[in-house]
């Protein structure tokens, strides 16, 4: 039901060239906002009180999980899933009004922060407004019953992308948020379950309204960058981080993925790097469950390897529990572990040092030989800007010999100046990290 012919797809691809991400994204970190769980109130206005804090941290892009009304039919839990949308062009009354949402966007823009909205194009709730007005927009079984896209997703109804009118309506609803609320882009949910040719058409239409719109696909693969997306998920890198933390993979695997991405993907592609997000946190566990004492170490990695760094709601206060997905479960904003300063340091380093900028705006990545399989070191270099990262990816202290150029550096976390000589031996503590800049 969601396939297009090879000939049509080929013709469409011929009309599309890889688009460089807008320049305003070059030094940005992205932050995922879970409005429901962010505060006790769970509203746009309550979240807005956190904008000064996030601005101080250096956050540049706010990705809001879906803000539309949630369906009641077949609802899971007491509040339902954000991704079971009942009306694409309205706000969830639990979060606030459209006026409240627009005010949040304006406040973010005043602080030089941008907002991208989570967009669920693959499915709707079973009581979405289209169910009555356009039942032909949905996929049905042989008996004519509307079906979910995946059996376990019993609270959502699959959309029929063979229907041209539905496609047009979907694009119109996406354009609504750009024209009416002045949002800056979209994070497109399960992008790989929606036909490629739809994204090509939709994203071309959106760019007519806002040429510098930013587009993130919840997918991984070079074809999505050809389809018009600027950034895709770094799932493969994330999974390797988890495996390294468990001791089932070595750092060489990460290096091979980065090298492969540089070869296979269009030059300038953005990859979103993370140690957590809403799916990982709720379903697979917090970064502390998956990465243990290496949570900070992998945070350093995610922030400094090629790509854009993602921070999820509560990570800055070392959120150590899985947030409920279908029920209220507010974050407690206490920073007993001082993770706020840790992430602030990484975010501001990325913004201030062009070597760590995103895509082709940033510097080259080069793996550094340490003569130890557990010590992973690399440089990012752009002109006179250079960042050297040394990570101990194990629960034991190790000595490493750095086969890199001699030079004078400053330790990003301690502020101390440090001189390195080629072949110098250094001891890195268990799950230790050293970030040096020239």
pLDDT computed for residue 5 by the predictor: 39
CB 300 within 8 A of CB 259: no
pLDDT digits (tens, 9 = 90+) for 50-81: 999 999 999 999 999 999 999 999 999 999 99
pLDDT computed for residue 411 by the predictor: 97
Question: Percent of the chain having pLDDT more than 90?
Answer: 89
Reply yes or no on whether the pLDDT at 17 is more than 70.
no
pLDDT digits (tens, 9 = 90+) for 351-403: 999 999 999 999 999 999 999 999 999 999 999 999 999 999 999 999 999 88
Please compute the mean of the pLDDT values over residues 17-42 and round it to a whole number: 93
Reply yes or no on whether the pLDDT at 423 is more than 90.
no
Q: Would you place residue 18 in the very low, low, confident or very high pLDDT band (cuts 50, 70, 90)?
A: low
Task: Name 73's Cβ contacts closer than 8 Å, sequence gap at least 6.
Answer: 125, 126, 127
Tell me the CATH number of domain 6-362, given options 3.75.10.10, 3.20.20.80, 3.10.129.10, 2.30.29.30. Answer: 3.20.20.80
pLDDT computed for residue 404 by the predictor: 83
Question: Percent of the chain having pLDDT more than 70?
Answer: 96
pLDDT computed for residue 13 by the predictor: 39
Reply yes or no on whether the pLDDT at 19 is more than 80.
no
pLDDT computed for residue 96 by the predictor: 98
Reply yes or no on whether the pLDDT at 12 is more than 90.
no
Domain range annotation of the chain: 6-362, 375-437
Task: Give ∠ CA 432-405-371 in degrees, rounded to 5.
Answer: 50
pLDDT computed for residue 375 by the predictor: 96
pLDDT digits (tens, 9 = 90+) for 111-140: 999 999 999 999 999 999 999 999 999 999
Reply yes or no on whether the pLDDT at 205 is more than 70.
yes
Region 375-437: CATH code: 2.60.40.1180
320/322 Cα distance (integer angstroms): 7
pLDDT digits (tens, 9 = 90+) for 175-185: 999 999 999 99
Please compute the mean of the pLDDT values over residues 263-280 and round it to a whole number: 96
CB 159 within 8 A of CB 122: yes
pLDDT computed for residue 20 by the predictor: 82
Has this prediction a pTM greater than 0.85?
yes
């Amino acid at each position: 039901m969601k396939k297009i012919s090879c000939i049509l797809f080929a013709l469409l691809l011929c009309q599309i060239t890889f688009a460089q991400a807008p320049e305003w994204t070059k030094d940005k970190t992205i932050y995922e906002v879970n409005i429901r769980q962010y505060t006790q109130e769970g509203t746009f206005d309550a979240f807005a009180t956190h904008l000064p804090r996030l601005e101080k941290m250096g956050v540049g892009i706010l990705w809001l999980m879906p803000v539309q009304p949630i369906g009641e039919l077949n609802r899971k839990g007491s509040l339902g899933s954000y991704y079971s949308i009942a009306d694409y062009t309205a706000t969830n009354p639990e979060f606030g009004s459209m006026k409240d949402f627009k005010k949040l966007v304006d406040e973010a823009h005043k602080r030089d922060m941008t907002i991208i909205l989570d967009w669920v194009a693959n499915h709707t709730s079973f009581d979405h407004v289209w169910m009555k007005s356009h039942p032909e927009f949905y996929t049905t079984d042989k008996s004519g019953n509307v079906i979910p896209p995946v059996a376990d997703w019993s609270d959502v109804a699959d959309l029929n992308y063979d229907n041209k009118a539905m496609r047009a309506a979907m694009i119109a609803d996406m354009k609504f948020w750009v024209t009416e609320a002045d949002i800056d882009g979209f994070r497109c949910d399960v992008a790989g379950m929606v036909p490629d040719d739809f994204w090509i058409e939709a994203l071309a239409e959106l760019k007519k309204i806002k040429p510098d719109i930013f587009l993130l696909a919840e997918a991984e693969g070079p074809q999505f960058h050809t389809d018009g997306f600027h950034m895709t998920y770094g799932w493969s890198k994330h999974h390797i981080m988890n495996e390294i933390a468990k001791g089932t993979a070595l750092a060489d695997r990460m290096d091979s993925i980065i090298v492969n991405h540089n070869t296979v993907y269009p030059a300038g592609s953005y990859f979103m790097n993370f140690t957590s997000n809403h799916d990982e946190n709720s379903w697979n566990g917090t970064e502390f469950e998956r990465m243990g004492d290496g949570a900070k170490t992998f945070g350093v990695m995610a922030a400094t390897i090629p790509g854009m760094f993602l921070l999820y709601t509560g990570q800055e206060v070392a959120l150590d529990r899985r947030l409920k997905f279908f029920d209220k479960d507010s974050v407690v904003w206490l920073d007993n572990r001082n993770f706020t300063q840790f992430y602030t340091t990484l975010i501001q380093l990325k913004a201030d040092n062009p070597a760590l900028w995103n895509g082709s705006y940033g510097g080259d990545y080069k793996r550094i030989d340490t003569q130890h399989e557990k010590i992973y070191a690399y440089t990012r270099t752009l002109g006179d800007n250079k960042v050297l990262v040394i990570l101990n990816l194990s629960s034991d202290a190790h000595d490493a010999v750095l086969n890199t150029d001699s030079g004078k550096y400053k330790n990003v976390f301690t502020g101390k100046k440090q001189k390195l000589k080629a072949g110098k031996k250094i001891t890195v503590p268990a799950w230790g990290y050293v970030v040096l800049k020239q």
